[in-house]
Amino acid sequence: MPFDDETGLDLPREDANAPQRVARLRELGLYDTPDDGFDELAAKLAQDGASLAGIDYAPYAMVNFRTDRHQFFAGLHVPAELVPASDGDGVSRVMDLQHGYCPEVVGRGKALVLDDVCAHPRFESNEVVDLIGIRSYLGDVVHDPRTGIVLGTACIVDTDRRAWGRAGLKLIKDAVAQIEARIWEIGR
């Protein structure tokens, strides 16, 4: 990920597929519209991630589409105290392109497993570490099943370090398969 010395932020990788992705997201109606089905899949991912980690609460989970302006969480699960409220409090469904780890996953085109983001100098400086205390990340790319275009990611993040392991990788890949099946249905 390129680094901007002026702002002190990691910048997203050059995104040559943005025009095709944006056009497809608009065509599918997923550019900036929340989806109950994706919310349910994010909640299931959070629940399964909590079970995998042997914890009682569900961490954050998202179905994230990368647009030309921002990341958009069409599916979002957050701790109950941070549920988006009508008055603007809570976690937003929109995040800057340079924040979080999903832009890195889109650029790589493959899964990213960070058991401890602070153990990786490249990732510990990301804005979400300070904003919401993210310490672990597990994410993979979501493709459009019709065109093969990378549309975004599915991810699960936590405020504690987690050893995701092979079980975590299987968990995120299974979630991506369910998300892609939903995209297939939407695109019919």
Report the CATH number at residue 109: 3.30.450.40
Looking at the structure of the chain, the number of domains it has is 1
Contact between 45 and 137 under an 8 Å Cβ cutoff? The reply is no
Q: What is the pLDDT of residues 131-186, one digit of tens each?
A: 778 889 999 999 999 999 999 999 999 989 999 999 999 999 999 999 999 999 99
Please give the model's pTM, rounded to 2 decimal places.
0.86
Q: What is the pLDDT of residues 80-131, one digit of tens each?
A: 765 554 444 456 899 888 888 888 899 889 999 999 999 988 788 887 887 7
- Picking from 11, 37, 38, 35, the residue whose alpha carbon sits closest to that of residue 154 is 38
Contact between 13 and 2 under an 8 Å Cβ cutoff? The reply is yes
Contact between 156 and 59 under an 8 Å Cβ cutoff? The reply is yes
Q: How far is CA 59 from CA 21, 54, 138, in A?
A: 28, 12, 11
Range of the domain at 82: 3-186
